[in-house]
Amino acid sequence: MDVLYFAWVRERIGIPKEKIDTEAATVADLVRELVAREERYAAAFADLSALRVALDQELSGFDAPLTGVREVAFFPPMTGG
Amino acid sequence: MDVLYFAWVRERIGIPKEKIDTEAATVADLVRELVAREERYAAAFADLSALRVALDQELSGFDAPLTGVREVAFFPPMTGG
Amino acid sequence: MRVSVQEEPFDLGAEANRFAEGDTGSGAIVTFTGVVRDLAQGNLDVMEIEHYPGMTEKAIAAIADDARQRWSLADVLVIHRYGQLAPGDRIMMVATAARHRKDAFEAAEFLMDYLKSRAPFWKKEISGEGSDWVAAKDEDEAALDRW
Amino acid sequence: MRVSVQEEPFDLGAEANRFAEGDTGSGAIVTFTGVVRDLAQGNLDVMEIEHYPGMTEKAIAAIADDARQRWSLADVLVIHRYGQLAPGDRIMMVATAARHRKDAFEAAEFLMDYLKSRAPFWKKEISGEGSDWVAAKDEDEAALDRW
């Protein structure tokens, strides 16, 4: 699965995108896996209330299942306009 | 005093402007004077609720005094924009 | 602030650019442009706009001043035409510049609501079937209540 | 309807004219333009706008579709830039065309409110003193409640 990071999430993790093989059932499970990996992930995911997630380019929630999902993106609240 | 007419008020009365010597104390008095003059004035002023009045280029009311006023204008509700 | 009551057409794009360029500290620019609509039967030949020279400019300036009292605006533009217009012609435009979008939007709506019912313009529609003065709408008068 | 997510500058006036010309039956055209504001200290060098290619276009199209469901609109335009911008540069614009001014105004405000908080853009302010990601404002999230 492709995992994308934007804005300061990208900066903390240090890369814009990576491929991840995971058995995680939900977004929250995937976050737990990442946080366990390395300090930079723990830093990026320290406060989930400051983060948003999109599944296959649709805004979603952290309790959403990952079944069939090909692209997950993590980013801070959007500031367009 | 200059009396001006706009839109269908102008069309009914047949002129855009005239000078009128009057002792009328209020707009309503002036209207009564005009209505008594000729049928075309009576036709124009038949329904005062369909008319607006401006005194010296400021929207006003039919009970307003004419003291010191130099220009009176009668017209239908405005349709700008 | 600029108010123009004019017979000549105006160029929406040129006016919008000029308005936006004059402005420095604003984050938000709103424009409204009014266009002559055809009649339901599609046979409008001319829309004739009459106004009250002298009062028109004063009334618009007073409305714009009022808007500047109510909202924090960097600049205001009002252009309104009179004379003979055809379907598709642009009748008028307002533009507002403000630090925040809410001020720019609300002030532009306020200007439009007041220009509709408080600026001395009258519209006459001339078609193959005759001519009719456009009647003021109750909803336009009611729109003033929200301010 | 046209949605453009682009790095290049756009010409507000040219876009406004093109939008207004395309339109026939509408009496009302509203545009909103967002401009890069300088920092309070007046030392903003660059505003960098990052976005999520692919999702951005889809999110904006969905917001515009939603607006067309809610209001009676003849046309909608959304242009949003990304990349490096300077103070005074125009970031984005929306335009709406409708038969009635209320629809055009409300739809433009709706588009802006949703673009602010639901289109995947992120702004970073780079000044002599360093760089900061612009934080989302509670009031921008709250603005969605009215729709």
H or E element that contains A11: helix A7-13
Contacts of B7 in chain C (CB under 8 A): 50, 122, 124, 133
The residue of chain D nearest to residue C116, with distances taken between CA atoms, is D101
Instruction: Average the pLDDT over A7-14 and give the result.
Output: 98
Instruction: Average the pLDDT over A42-62 and give the result.
Output: 97
Q: State pLDDT tens for residues D17-36.
A: 999 986 667 999 999 999 99
Report DSSP letters for C103-134, one per residue. Answer: HHHHHHHHHHHHHHHHS-EEEEEEETTEEEEP
Whole-Å CA distances, A15 to A11, A66, A70, C140: 7, 22, 18, 56
Predicted pLDDT of residue D50: 98
| ipTM of the complex, rounded to two decimals | 0.95
Contacts of B6 in chain C (CB under 8 A): 50, 52, 120, 122
Predicted pLDDT of residue D25: 76
Instruction: Average the pLDDT over D113-140 and give the result.
Output: 95
- Of D23 and D9, more confident: D9
Q: State pLDDT tens for residues B14-25.
A: 999 999 999 999
Interchain contact, D122 vs A57, CB within 8 Å: no
Q: State pLDDT tens for residues D38-60.
A: 888 889 999 999 999 999 999 99
Instruction: Average the pLDDT over D117-135 and give the result.
Output: 95
Contacts of C55 in chain B (CB under 8 A): 54, 57-58, 73
Predicted pLDDT of residue C42: 86
Considering CB atoms only, which of A58, A76, A81 is closest to D133?
A: A76
Considering CB atoms only, which of C59, C122, C141 is closest to B6?
A: C122
Confidence check: pLDDT of A79 > 80: yes
Confidence check: pLDDT of C14 > 90: yes
Q: Pairing relation of β-strands A58-60 and A52-55?
A: antiparallel
Task: List, as ranges, residues 60-79 from A with C-beta within 8 Å of D.
Answer: 73, 75-79
- List the chains bordering chain C where 3 or more Cβ pairs fall under 8 Å: B, D
Count helices and strands in chain C by DSSP H and E runs: 4, 8
Interchain contact, C108 vs D30, CB within 8 Å: yes
Cα end-to-end span (Å), chain C: 21
pLDDT above 90 covers what percent of chain A?
A: 100
Considering CB atoms only, which of C54, C92, C133 is closest to B81?
A: C92
**Secondary structure (3-state) at C66:** helix
Considering CB atoms only, which of D58, D119, D124 is closest to A80?
A: D119
Q: State pLDDT tens for residues C56-82.
A: 999 999 999 999 999 999 999 999 999
Considering CB atoms only, which of B4, B58, B80 is closest to C121?
A: B80
Does the global pTM surpass 0.90?
yes
Domain of residue C125: give its range: 2-144
Predicted pLDDT of residue D42: 86
Interchain contact, C119 vs B76, CB within 8 Å: no
Residues of C with CB under 8 A from a CB of D: 11-17, 20, 23-38, 88, 90, 99, 101, 104-105, 108-109, 112
Contacts of D115 in chain A (CB under 8 A): 80-81
pLDDT above 70 covers what percent of chain D?
A: 98
C30 DSSP 8-state letter? E
Spell out the residues 6+ positions from residue C30 whose beta carbon is closer than 8 angstroms to its own. Answer: C95, C96, C101, C104, C105, C107, C108, D30, D31, D32, D33, D108
Are B13 and B39 within 8 A, CB to CB? Answer: no
Cα end-to-end span (Å), chain D: 21
- List the chains bordering chain B where 3 or more Cβ pairs fall under 8 Å: C
Are C18 and C95 within 8 A, CB to CB? Answer: no
Domains of chain A, first to last: 2-75 (3.10.20.30)
Domain holding D91: CATH number?
3.90.1170.40
Of the pLDDT bands very low, low, confident and very high (cuts 50, 70, 90), residue C24 is low
The residue of chain D nearest to residue A79, with distances taken between CA atoms, is D122
Count helices and strands in chain B by DSSP H and E runs: 3, 5
Interchain contact, A79 vs D123, CB within 8 Å: yes
For residue D49, list its beta bridge partners: D83, D123
Of the pLDDT bands very low, low, confident and very high (cuts 50, 70, 90), residue C23 is low
Are D120 and A6 within 8 A, CB to CB? Answer: yes
C76 DSSP 8-state letter? E
Predicted pLDDT of residue D81: 98
- Of D38 and D113, more confident: D113
Task: List, as ranges, residues 20-59 from C with C-beta within 8 Å of B.
Answer: 34, 50, 52, 54-55, 58-59
D115 has a chain A CB within 8 A of its CB: yes
B38–chain C nearest CA distance, Å? 24
pLDDT below 70 — which residues of chain B? none
Average per-residue pLDDT for chain A: 97
Confidence check: pLDDT of A12 > 90: yes
Predicted pLDDT of residue D41: 86
Phi/psi for B14 (5° steps) reads 95, -5
Contacts of A8 in chain D (CB under 8 A): 133
- Count of domains for chain D: 1
